């Protein structure tokens, strides 16, 4: 076995030991196919108020501009599918935000992975990314054979569906590279048909400015009245396109203790949410991705839903 094969095998085994669902590796190079798609998406204003998407265009498409001397992009998936969900008569929270903020959880695992690589292999340099820098996570994961980009623009896997986080470790070590898998969406349009705000404007193209996740999290202004009665009771994020996807019948509950929701999050009714105080919000979502929208943002979302 060559040292390249040995290193690749070690990294994949270590990723599994750290609790990652799967690990795929691709060569760090310019994302030629994605460049025109990203350009058109931005040009059409589908990023709404997410102005940061316009920044670092070159770095988004070329990891060697982001991490000096980089040779490999290690893509990793971490399952967040919960064993229990909120009660039926509640305003809804996207499943990924049930537990501790994934940024903390995954960053720690990636640091451990890099430390193991350095210990085993030696002088290896790299950076960890958890959607906090200009990296096209899903494009790299697809290139690394971990799944294909579905019509809802999320990464999909035949084995486990799509309820997982995508993260990367970009390093200056040459490894054995994986190959992409084929698209298995076929003629299915379940996600397009089910989207409450018709944000999936055509297969594989999501108008971010119409997406409920954008409206409830990224948008800082008032939610436009055009979306009245279209929010499907989502107060933070939205899972509709994933919930209806046939591939998600293969989703299995995660085993990450930090992603377990607090029982009171699952048990709150609509009335409970409408009456939530800032004190309860801070306590309930102390290390949660829900902090992103802040108490004021959550109240704005709840007021909008209540008035619908």
Active site residues: 131
User: What is the Cα–Cα distance from 53 to 162, expressed in whole angstroms?
Assistant: 23
Closest CA to 95 of 106, 107, 108, 86: 86
> What is the Cα 164 distance to its own chain's centre?
7
Closest CA to 84 of 290, 263, 269: 263
At residue 200, what are phi and psi to the nearest 5 degrees? Answer: -85, 90
The region that residue 65 occupies, defined by phi over 0 for left and psi between -120 and 50 for alpha, beta otherwise, is alpha
Closest CA to 73 of 89, 90, 60, 82: 60
At residue 172, what are phi and psi to the nearest 5 degrees? Answer: -95, 40
Closest CA to 193 of 142, 231, 229, 151: 151
SS in 3 state form for 117-169?
HHHHHCCCCEEEECCCCCCCHHHHHHHCCCCEECCCCCEEECCCECCEEEEEE
Contact 101, 289 (CB under 8 A): yes
- Both tokens of 158, joined, read 């035949």
User: What is the Cα–Cα distance from 117 to 156, expressed in whole angstroms?
Assistant: 28
């Amino acid at each position: 076995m060559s040292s390249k094969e040995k290193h690749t095998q070690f990294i994949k085994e270590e990723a599994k030991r750290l609790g990652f669902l799967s690990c795929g590796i691709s060569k760090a190079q310019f994302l030629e196919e994605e460049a025109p798609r990203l350009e058109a998406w931005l040009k059409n204003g589908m990023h709404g108020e997410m102005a940061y998407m316009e920044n670092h265009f070159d770095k988004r498409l070329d990891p060697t501009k982001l991490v000096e001397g980089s040779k490999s992009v290690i893509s990793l998936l971490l399952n967040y599918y919960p064993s229990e969900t909120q009660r039926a008569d509640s305003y809804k929270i996207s499943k990924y935000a049930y537990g501790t903020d994934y940024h903390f959880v995954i960053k720690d695992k990636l640091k451990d992975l890099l430390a193991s690589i350095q210990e085993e292999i030696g002088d290896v340099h790299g950076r960890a990314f958890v959607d906090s820098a200009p990296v096209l996570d899903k494009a790299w994961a697809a290139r690394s054979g971990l799944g294909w980009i579905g019509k809802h623009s999320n990464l999909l896997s035949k084995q486990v569906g799509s309820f997982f986080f995508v993260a990367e470790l970009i390093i200056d070590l040459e490894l054995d590279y994986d190959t992409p898998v084929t698209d298995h969406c076929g003629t299915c349009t379940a996600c397009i048909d089910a989207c409450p705000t018709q944000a999936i404007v055509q297969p594989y193209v999501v108008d971010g400015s119409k997406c409920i996740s954008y409206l409830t999290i990224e948008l800082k202004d008032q939610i436009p009245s055009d979306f009245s009665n279209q929010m499907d009771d989502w107060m933070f994020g939205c899972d509709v396109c994933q919930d209806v996807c046939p591939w998600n019948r293969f989703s299995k509950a995660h085993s990450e203790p930090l992603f377990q929701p607090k029982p009171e999050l699952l048990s709150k009714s609509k009335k409970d949410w409408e009456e939530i105080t800032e004190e309860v919000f801070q306590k309930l979502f102390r290390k949660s991705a829900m902090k992103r929208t802040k108490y004021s943002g959550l109240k704005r979302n709840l007021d909008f839903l209540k008035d619908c």
